[in-house]
């Protein structure tokens, strides 16, 4: 007689005795089939696992008692259970209450439908993926793991949400902030190292006057206290010959991507649009820069993203598309389309057209002026990465100015007490301060 089939769903990022116990329990009932959650399934509800799917699969396949590993492509068990029709599913009893309750209800109903049984075993207190998740964060990351994580996120999530960071504190907000609502868990996926905010925070104009070495010093503070991926604003990329070195330097630091814009001459911030002289490079000139960059990178995972400034320069969407196609053909790993138009119409038109030709090349958008458009809409148009390019600095400056003016006005600090983080909280903000 055929053995009974036992289904176990797991992430298996970190092996711990709780998982081994559940597998051992499973073997008592039949052949254990592990439904290993893919990156995409996990990213919909939790941070991306440390190990890739293939790495986790290799580990789980080698565990005694595991007969087979199959991919579970969704957070919900339902589709796999219907497909595999196991006799049993085993799960820790931690799902009886809390956020997994709905998952449990669905599992019970499918198992009833297919005539199987749900077995709940006592949850292993103290050792579970969530508590280990915190420990692994404390260990930090390596440049290699961080660098790779952006491509993994693009593949795993409908939208990769990036926020500007110009110092370690911004980095910590982006690293740690999470929000739960009806749609599940939300977080920022990574950081944008912006030329505008990097320059402004140093009291310098955004004209490539702050050199790479200086920008890397501050970026290093962010790297020290975070693990999420970083996209570096490379301005024009500088001279083509210099860009080759920039790429290697960024890679060595574990930066995931550089975005360079197709402008030449003295760079001015794009949001000036045609109010200042902005000179676009020729297609030939810029594709050459992309090619040189691509041939100088050491890893396979680093991304060079080409930023199209046609709309900023007042040119039509057709010009932007022509450039986009040429940049992709030259080897760009993604396209950033920028605009200062408030409607978002030109971005929608570009994305929709571009997607007809290239279904998978990542599109990056920066909704600074068209800020009424929701991420969901941007994704529907075809965007993969949304960068909130300057918001933390724009938030900090008025808050600091307000406090400074009030102290001047009242000639004491009592009136700003409410505007400031309480002393107790600032002392507790960074672990290890006490």
State the catalytic residues: 206
Output Rg (C-alpha) for the chain, integer angstroms: 25
Contact region for ligand SPV (CB under 6 A) — 59-67, 264-272, 298-306, 425-433? 264-272
Q: Among 219, 390, 392, 393, indicate the residue that binds ligand SPV (CB under 6 A).
A: 390
The Cα–Cα gap between 99 and 90 comes to: 18
The residue among 94 and 261 lying less far from Mg ion, judged by its C-beta, is: 261
Q: Among 72, 141, 149, 195, indicate the residue that binds ligand SPV (CB under 6 A).
A: 195
Q: Is 198 in the site for Mg ion (CB under 5 A)?
A: no
Contact region for ligand SPV (CB under 6 A) — 47-55, 75-83, 194-202, 392-400? 194-202
- The C-alpha angle 211, 217, 221, rounded to 5 degrees, equals 145
The Cα–Cα gap between 338 and 344 comes to: 10
Instruction: Using DSSP bridges, classify how beta strands 279-280 and 263-264 pair: parallel, antiparallel or unpaired.
Output: antiparallel
The residue among 141 and 236 lying less far from Mg ion, judged by its C-beta, is: 236
Stretch 197-256 residues interacting with ligand SPV (CB under 6 A):
233
What is the closest distance, in whole angstroms, from the C-beta atom of residue 210 to Mg ion in the complex? Answer: 11
Q: Among 200, 236, 368, 384, indicate the residue that binds ligand SPV (CB under 6 A).
A: 368
- 186 token code pair: 């939300």
Q: How many Cα neighbours within 13 Å face the side chain of 321?
A: 16
The Cα–Cα gap between 425 and 263 comes to: 45
- 42-46: list long-range contacts, CB under 8 Å, 24+ apart: 42/11, 42/75, 42/156, 43/153, 43/156, 43/157, 44/74, 44/75, 44/157, 44/184, 45/75, 45/184, 45/185, 46/11, 46/133, 46/185
Q: Evaluate whether 278 touches 228 at the Cβ level (below 8 Å).
A: no
The Cα–Cα gap between 77 and 129 comes to: 18
Q: Among 11, 195, 199, 226, indicate the residue that binds Mg ion (CB under 5 A).
A: 195
The residue among 104 and 307 lying less far from ligand SPV, judged by its C-beta, is: 307
The residue among 108 and 272 lying less far from ligand SPV, judged by its C-beta, is: 272
The residue among 80 and 270 lying less far from ligand SPV, judged by its C-beta, is: 270
Instruction: Using DSSP bridges, classify how beta strands 5-10 and 88-92 pair: parallel, antiparallel or unpaired.
Output: parallel
The residue among 70 and 264 lying less far from ligand SPV, judged by its C-beta, is: 264
The residue among 77 and 192 lying less far from Mg ion, judged by its C-beta, is: 192
Contact region for ligand SPV (CB under 6 A) — 220-228, 269-277, 293-301, 419-427? 269-277
Contact region for ligand SPV (CB under 6 A) — 58-66, 220-228, 265-273, 316-324? 265-273
What is the closest distance, in whole angstroms, from the C-beta atom of residue 371 to Mg ion in the complex? Answer: 17
Q: Is 193 in the site for ligand SPV (CB under 6 A)?
A: no
Q: Which residue has the tokens 């507790």?
A: 428
Q: Which does 236 bind (CB under 5 to 8 A by kind): ligand SPV, Mg ion, none?
A: none
The residue among 39 and 281 lying less far from ligand SPV, judged by its C-beta, is: 281
The Cα–Cα gap between 331 and 290 comes to: 7
Cβ neighbours around 31 below 10 Å, total: 17
> Which segments within 234-292 are labelled E, that is strand?
257-261, 263-264, 279-280
Q: Among 233, 309, 346, 349, indicate the residue that binds Mg ion (CB under 5 A).
A: 233
What is the closest distance, in whole angstroms, from the C-beta atom of residue 103 to Mg ion in the complex? Answer: 43
- 278 token code pair: 């902005």
Q: Among 194, 246, 280, 310, indicate the residue that binds ligand SPV (CB under 6 A).
A: 194
The Cα–Cα gap between 163 and 389 comes to: 6
Contact region for ligand SPV (CB under 6 A) — 79-87, 121-129, 192-200, 357-365? 192-200
Residue 392's contacts (CB-CB under 8 Å, 6 or more residues apart) are: 163, 164, 165, 166, 170, 173, 197
Q: Is 129 in the site for ligand SPV (CB under 6 A)?
A: no
Q: Is 278 in the site for ligand SPV (CB under 6 A)?
A: no
What is the closest distance, in whole angstroms, from the C-beta atom of residue 233 to ligand SPV in the complex? Answer: 5
Q: Among 11, 200, 201, 269, indicate the residue that binds ligand SPV (CB under 6 A).
A: 269
Number of residues in contact with ligand SPV, rule: CB under 6 A?
A: 11
Q: Evaluate whether 301 touches 316 at the Cβ level (below 8 Å).
A: no
Name the residues that contact ligand SPV, by CB under 6 A: 194-196, 233, 269-271, 366, 368, 389-390
């Amino acid at each position: 007689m055929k053995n009974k089939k036992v289904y176990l769903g797991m992430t298996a990022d970190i092996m711990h005795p709780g998982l081994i116990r559940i597998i051992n329990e499973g073997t008592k009932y039949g052949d254990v089939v592990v439904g290993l959650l893919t990156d995409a399934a996990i990213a919909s509800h939790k941070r991306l696992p440390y190990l890739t799917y293939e790495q986790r699969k290799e580990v789980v396949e080698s565990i005694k008692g595991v007969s087979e590993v199959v991919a579970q492509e969704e957070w919900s068990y339902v589709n796999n259970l219907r497909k595999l029709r196991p006799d049993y599913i085993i799960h820790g009893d931690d799902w009886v209450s809390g956020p997994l309750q709905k998952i449990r209800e669905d599992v019970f109903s499918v198992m009833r439908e297919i005539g199987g049984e749900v077995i709940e075993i006592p949850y292993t207190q103290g050792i579970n993926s969530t508590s280990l998740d915190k420990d692994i964060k404390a260990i930090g990351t390596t440049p290699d793991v961080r660098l790779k994580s952006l491509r993994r996120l693009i593949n795993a999530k409908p939208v990769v949400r990036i926020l500007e960071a110009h110092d370690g504190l911004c980095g910590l907000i982006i690293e740690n902030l999470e929000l739960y609502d009806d749609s599940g868990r939300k977080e920022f996926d990574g950081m944008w190292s912006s030329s505008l905010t990097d320059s402004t925070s140093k009291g310098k104009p955004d004209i490539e006057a702050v050199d790479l070495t200086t920008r890397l010093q501050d970026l290093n503070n962010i790297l020290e206290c975070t693990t999420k991926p970083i996209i570096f604003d490379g301005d024009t990329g500088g001279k083509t010959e210099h860009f080759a070195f920039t790429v290697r330097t960024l890679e060595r630091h574990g930066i995931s991507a550089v975005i360079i814009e197709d402008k030449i001459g003295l760079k001015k911030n794009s949001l000036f649009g045609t109010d200042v002289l902005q000179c676009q490079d020729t297609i030939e000139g810029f594709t050459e820069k992309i090619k040189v960059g691509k041939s100088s990178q050491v890893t396979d995972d680093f991304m060079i993203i080409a930023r199209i400034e046609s709309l900023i320069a007042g040119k039509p969407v057709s010009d932007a598309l022509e450039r986009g196609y040429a940049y992709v053909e030259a080897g760009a790993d993604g396209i950033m389309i920028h605009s200062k138009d408030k409607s978002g119409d030109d971005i929608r038109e570009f994305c929709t057209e571009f997607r007809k030709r290239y279904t998978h090349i990542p599109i990056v958008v920066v909704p600074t002026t068209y800020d009424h458009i929701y991420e969901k809409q941007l994704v529907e148009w075809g965007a993969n990465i949304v960068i909130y390019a300057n918001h933390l600095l724009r938030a900090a400056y008025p808050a600091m100015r307000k406090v400074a003016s009030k102290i001047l006005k009242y000639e004491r600090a009592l009136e700003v007490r409410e505007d400031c983080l309480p002393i107790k909280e600032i002392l507790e903000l960074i672990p290890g301060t006490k």
